[in-house]
Amino acid sequence: MKTNDNCVGCGQCASFCKMGAIEVRGKARATDACVECGMCIPYCPVKAIEVPA
Residue-wise pLDDT tens digits, 4-46:
999 999 999 999 999 999 999 999 999 999 999 999 999 999 9
How many domains, the chain?
A: 1
Q: What single string gives the DSSP state of each residue in 1-53?
A: -EE-TT-----HHHHH-TT--EEEESEEEE-TT-----TTGGG-TT--EE---
47: left (phi over 0), alpha (psi -120 to 50) or beta: left
pLDDT in the model for residue 52 = 75
- Provide the residue range defining the domain that includes 44: 2-50
**pLDDT grade for 3, boundaries at 50, 70 and 90:** very high
CATH code for position 18: 3.30.70.20
